[in-house]
Structure 1
Amino acid sequence: MKCIKREIIFLLLICIVSSVQAQTWEQMNSTKKEAIKHFNEDKFGLFIHWGIYSLWGGMYKGQKIDDIVSPEPNDACWVQARARIPRVEYQQLMKQFDPVKFNANEYVALIKEAGMKYVVITSKHHDGFALWDSKVSDFDMGSTPSKRNLVKELYEACQRQGVDFGVYYSHNIDWNDAHDCNIKTYCDVTGEVWPEPADFKGKKRRPMGANLWDPSPNTFDEYLVNKAYPQVKELLEMFPNMKFMWYDFAHFLSKDQSFKFYQLVYKLNPNVIVTDRVGHDLGDFNIPGDNKIPNPEDMGGKHWETVGTFNNSWGYKEYDKDFKSPYELIYWITAIASRGGNYMLNIGPKGDGSIPEESVKNLKEIGKWMSVNGKAIYGTKQWKVSREGEDTQKMLGTGHRATHGFTSNFTTSDFWFTTKGNKVYAIALERGKEALIKSFAGEEIKEVKLLGHSKKLKWKQTAEGLSIVLPKNKDSQIGYAIEVTLVSSL
């Protein structure tokens, strides 16, 4: 750790916390309505999982991490935990991390071309490595050959090009400096049995993410005071126009610890919204689960965001070629928007900073679709009907998608709906010569348009619904979106 006196840091944190001690979470959250509204209107963003683990690409000593027997996730950014790699050995990756192909301006240009409105990057993932030169840790970019501040480069490019920016920060899990990640203390306090095997009924805690193979010699509380809290402060002060703090994996935090992480953000920038993964239901918006499309009623009345992988790994995995196609990605965007949520799609750059070709190609294809149909996505809300059709496609998480794939059987009778003011949008993935949208039966319709088409449509309203004659699909676009203007808004 870099030389900073613990007493000074501790006193500074006491001042920060005590100055807002009287404020409850409800009071702080209530001031963020405009920030949350803006976030929800953005709808579509990019997640970036990147770190020194990207150098290995899901391999360890010539072996695929999927073939390593371990209860930990087989994701590329979990390689240290899955292979139980000692901290000293893992730290050697810093000496090889020189991302010469990372160009922040090109990244942000791609984000905009894809029709995305915001980006969140892993400033520090579970391995504890910081993508900037931190004042309180040597396990960071300052110890690499390039010594670049990768997070700042991306932030500044976002500021220049008008893209909202946020950081991911693993606050509970840090395999380099957080001892056992607080699992032993947590289980002692809650009375849960530790460690494996777990029965998932609350009696035995699954130690997923806890460093039980080579814990750092300091205590977890020392990690919070000497590293986690100060690094969060560094990020917030470094990026004054930051929009999101994406905490993650608060499995072993007390409610008081989660509250302090939320409170610290509020004190330094009250307009930054915080993910519910800060822990103990103290977030400003909810994450239903990785690669999962939820029922909105299960989100507790909060705005929500689905985060999804491009293939089946958050970090770069050289042998995972199961990339989501443009067709599938348009389904994710559409289905999530129809339920009122946001979609943040992830890329896992390689160790040299380049983005996998499949991701670049498909992002550009998504951008073409969004340039025509984005009006049906951005700034919209859930209509009284979100879905019309027979297909029962379900997305229940990363493992479900990896096992079952994308098995849609959509037809020209499948529609998803969004709304904005007195306009309702009907989005389809399959296109025929005509369309019958039954959900508009009985609605008072003023006007009907096809997004991206300047000529008037032939349409009529019948007892069955809205009947439309569709023009030829000259550009071979995936699906289409219909804008229906009602006489009055809901």
Structure 2
Amino acid sequence: MNLASRSIVTGLLFAASTLGYAQLEGSKADTTPVHHPVPAIQDTETPAQRDARMAWWRDARFGMFIHWGLYSIPAGEWNGKRTTHIGEWIMNDLSIPVADYKGFAKDFNPTGFSAHDIVALAKAAGMKYIVITAKHHDGFAMFDSKVDPFNIVAATPFKRDPLKELAEECRKQGVKLGFYYSQSQDWTYPGGGAAVRPGHNQQTGHWDPAQDGSFDDYLKNKSIPQIKELLENYKGFPVVVWFDTPGKNMTPERAAEVVKLLNKYPNLIWNNRLGGTYKGDTETPEQYIPPQGYPGQDWESCMTMNDTWGFKSFDTNFKSTETLLRNLIDIASKGGNYLLNIGPDSKGVVPAPEVERLQQVGKWLDVNGEAIYGTTATVFDVPTGTFSTTEKGRNGQPKFLPTWNWRSTTKGNKVYVEIFDWTGSFHVDKMPRKVTGAYLLADKAHKPLKFTQNGTALDVQLPSKALDPIATVVVLNTTM
């Protein structure tokens, strides 16, 4: 994942600045036209074509991120040292030699992995798509790659391809599947990129001579051929490719070689982290929700359930179901998607607290999903928080402090108001539409609620008790 969007030690912040790929705590995406060596689909398609290509993704609103790999074996600890950072960065953080890290492969036998159960968990949670780490920065491929033997089929006793099994289950259960691929960083293949940090080579980021080599050779001999494998070998998947940490190595000319592959799949969706000035389809704020989203842009907040992406045995700081659900609602109210991470352990088992929370989120969506799926951003011009007068955010500007009274989403003539702070009434000064009726979404009878609309002001009388303590949804039927 992108270093720059986390609060981490000074040395890693320096590394992140070298990678140069932080998302700022703002609401505007750069839309300046750029001339590319090879035009991408985004450079040539019409607005109508883009709308058609992005339609399912915009409707989905909620997806599962899976960070799983060899790093789940050390699980945050190596040689008596515990990393204070995220689990999947342990090789870099603790400067583990290539030979030692590759040695984990002989012990990687995740017999507890069940593609059926993970896809079923995503469905139970109300998630519409899955994105899994096909290869993270450590260079270990979680699929059957003929390009490099450092992969789960050739190098481990497991001998199975989890991506193939997930693809089969996603087809059976009606879930979309995407692949994350670290195209620039690779800490075990000669010439692969690495984040520059104190104690490492300040030009390459390497800490082991086994990492040295030509980046162009790495790109030509491993990265691009593996991306080709991922695009060709999974029978209609991936529908999403999620790139990461391009750094200075991914020049426009180098990125163009990847784009040549992507262009062969005109329905593919890919994010803004390829590099080389290619903007992709989606903005990717990491571990935060932009105050106003990205108006007019497709965007997706990727976030963890605890403090790590890859499994760490001692990270038990799990967010509450309330926090996760309200994040989802907040993101949808701003027109974005929520990509929520799970981190299976070395046996392939999803930690129980993650399972429990996803099941609880799913129960809410079973009742209230109409207010999330296929919706667009709020019609109300109401602040969702304030900017601190004392704290600074990640871009050095005042930190945004959200308030949690209510949010709103929109679908056609319906306006959904997700109320967190239940007071027995709902009031807004400016309602931009005429309201013709109101009811609670969780009320199967849709018993009408009393309301008054005087000018632009709207007041809705609510029952004395909320139907759901986390968020109860009021549906407003409107005319535009």
Q: Classify the TM-score, shorter chain.
A: 0.7 to 0.9
C-alpha deviation, 1:373, in angstroms: 1.3
Label 1:446 to 1:57 Cα distance change in 2 as closer, same or farther (>3 A): same
Contact 2:270 2:282 in 1 (8 A): no
Aligned with residue 221 of structure 2, among 218, 223, 226: 226
Residue equivalent to 2:318: 323
Aligned with residue 425 of structure 1, among 416, 430, 437: 416
Residue equivalent to 1:305: 300
Residue equivalent to 1:238: 233
Q: Deviations over 1:97-153 (max 9, x none)?
A: 000110000101110000100000000000000011211101001210011101111
Residue equivalent to 2:459: 466
1:449 aligns with 2:442: no
Q: How does 1:291-440 map to 2 (within 5 A)?
A: 291-296=287-292, 299=294, 301-385=296-380, 387=382, 410=404, 414-432=405-423, 434-439=424-429
Structure 1 stretches (4+) deviating beyond 3 angstroms? Answer: 20-33, 206-210, 212-215, 386-397, 406-410, 439-443, 471-474
Residue equivalent to 2:29: none
C-alpha deviation, 1:76, in angstroms: 0.5
C-alpha deviation, 1:435, in angstroms: 1.8
Residue equivalent to 2:4: none
Q: Give, in whole Å, the separation in 1 of the partners of 2:164 and 2:298.
A: 28
Q: Give, in whole Å, the separation in 2 of the partners of 1:207 and 1:417.
A: 48
Q: Give, in whole Å, the separation in 2 of the partners of 1:176 and 1:103.
A: 28
Contact 1:288 1:294 in 2 (8 A): no
AA aligned to 2:428 is K
3-state SS of 2:438 partner: strand
Structure 2-normalised TM-score? 0.83
C-alpha deviation, 1:429, in angstroms: 1.7
Label 1:333 to 1:178 Cα distance change in 2 as closer, same or farther (>3 A): farther
Aligned with residue 193 of structure 2, among 181, 186, 196: 181
Residue equivalent to 1:265: 262
Contact 1:459 1:468 in 2 (8 A): yes
Structure 1-normalised TM-score? 0.81
Residue equivalent to 1:485: 477
Q: Give, in whole Å, the separation in 2 of the partners of 1:44 and 1:29.
A: 26
Residue equivalent to 1:200: none
Contact 1:45 1:117 in 2 (8 A): yes
Residue equivalent to 1:255: 252
AA aligned to 2:473 is A
1:286 aligns with 2:282: yes
Contact 1:32 1:271 in 2 (8 A): no
Which stretches in structure 1 are left out of the alignment for 5+ residues? 1-19, 67-73, 184-194, 198-205, 398-403
Residue equivalent to 1:90: 101
C-alpha deviation, 1:430, in angstroms: 2.7
Contact 1:442 1:465 in 2 (8 A): no
Contact 1:32 1:270 in 2 (8 A): no
Residue equivalent to 2:111: 100
Q: Give, in whole Å, the separation in 2 of the partners of 1:99 and 1:255.
A: 39
Q: Give, in whole Å, the separation in 2 of the partners of 1:327 and 1:395.
A: 26
Higher strand share: 2
Which stretches in structure 2 are left out of the alignment for 5+ residues? 1-35
Label 1:133 to 1:208 Cα distance change in 2 as closer, same or farther (>3 A): farther
3-state SS of 2:316 partner: coil
- Which of 92-101 and 274-283 deviates more? 274-283
Q: Give, in whole Å, the separation in 2 of the partners of 1:295 and 1:381.
A: 16
AA aligned to 2:312 is K
C-alpha deviation, 1:386, in angstroms: 5.8
How many residues are treated as equivalent by the alignment? 431
Aligned with residue 130 of structure 2, among 109, 115, 119: 119
Contact 1:391 1:409 in 2 (8 A): yes
Q: Give, in whole Å, the separation in 2 of the partners of 1:447 and 1:392.
A: 35
Q: Give, in whole Å, the separation in 2 of the partners of 1:43 and 1:389.
A: 19
3-state SS of 1:143 partner: coil
Q: Give, in whole Å, the separation in 2 of the partners of 1:173 and 1:167.
A: 16
C-alpha deviation, 1:455, in angstroms: 3.8
- Which of 213-222 and 83-92 deviates more? 213-222
3-state SS of 2:227 partner: helix
CA root-mean-square deviation? 3.0
3-state SS of 1:336 partner: helix
Label 1:458 to 1:25 Cα distance change in 2 as closer, same or farther (>3 A): closer
Residue equivalent to 1:36: 54
Label 1:472 to 1:26 Cα distance change in 2 as closer, same or farther (>3 A): closer
Contact 1:292 1:396 in 2 (8 A): no
Higher helix share: 1
C-alpha deviation, 1:259, in angstroms: 2.5
Q: Deviations over 1:213-244 (max 9, x none)?
A: 44534311111111111111111111223210
Contact 1:284 1:302 in 2 (8 A): no
Identity %: 33
1:79 aligns with 2:108: no
Contact 2:406 2:418 in 1 (8 A): yes
3-state SS of 1:101 partner: coil
AA aligned to 1:469 is L
Contact 1:388 1:415 in 2 (8 A): no
Contact 1:457 1:469 in 2 (8 A): no
Q: Give, in whole Å, the separation in 1 of the partners of 2:190 and 2:266.
A: 27
Q: Give, in whole Å, the separation in 1 of the partners of 2:309 and 2:462.
A: 42
